[in-house]
Copies of this chain bind each other. A is one copy, B any other.
Amino acid sequence: MRYELYYWPTIQGRGEFVRLALEEAGADYVDVARKGKAGMRAMTKLLEGTRVPRPPYAPPFLKAGKLIIGQTANILFYLGGRRGLEPRDEAGALWAHQLQLTIADLVTHIHDTHHPISGWLFYEQQRPAAKLRTRDFWRYRVPKFLGYFERIIVKSGGPYVLGRRLSYVDLSLFQVVEGLRYAFPKRMKRFEKKVPRVVALAARVAKRPRVAAYLASKRRIAFSQWGIYRYFKELDA
């Protein structure tokens, strides 16, 4: 089956978690909105179109045959079972999904470091709040979230989150580590010493042949100041 991924064409954003899963799985897919204006129109039509019985709330969403699936973690849950990116047993699949939802919570916190007030305002319009939120984020959230994943890797025996086999959770954790390195290079460098297994996992994911080929390709959009992870020197103090 040829999957159709719908996501904003110029950013990694939440779509990147899906792109990484599709790439690692060697899936046949089209990144629709990156195919020019017609692609963007197609995306808008599915979001707003009156003929769509079950329109998603927002991108990313995946079209698989007639099925349209929204919400990043839900897409990964669907793909995981079909593309060998999650355990085959129900308990294992639910566990992987639970971890993915935990990553989703972390991603919201990351976004809110630079936009704690509103996505409709510029960073410069919410700078004092951003500084405070970032301080809180690095004091409490990062240690708790990444410390949790470090602990889970210890429990599973590693090297991946669930143990010896890679799952979509690893791809997402890799993406978060890379994003934090982009947005907070100094802070992250200091922090990485505390989560050696998470860091080793990210390196291992980056070296997987399909992931490495993807990262080196034009299909991988670069980190930028328009995505979830943004670099502001004053927030990285």
Contacts and interface: CB of A to CB of B under 8 A. Distances in A.
Interface of A: 53-57, 67, 69-71, 73-74, 77-78, 91, 94-95, 97-98, 101-102, 105, 108, 112, 116-118, 120-121, 126, 128-129, 132-133, 136, 140, 145, 148, 151-152, 155
A101 B95 CA distance: 16
A155 B54 contact: yes
A3 to B, nearest CB: 15
A79 to B, nearest CB: 11
Contacts of A70: 98, 102
A218 B117 CA distance: 37
A69 B98 contact: yes
Contacts of A108: 105, 108
Contact of A101 (B71, B91, B94, B98): B71
A117 B101 contact: no
Q: Dominant SS at the A interface?
A: helix
Given A56-B98, A78-B94, A129-B129, A120 B148 contact: no
A107 to B, nearest CB: 11
Given A54-B95, A69-B94, A112-B116, 7 more contacts: A55-B152, A57-B105, A74-B94, A77-B97, A116-B129, A118-B140, A121-B136
B118 A91 contact: no
A53 B98 contact: no
A81 to B, nearest CB: 10
Contacts of A118: 132-133, 136, 140
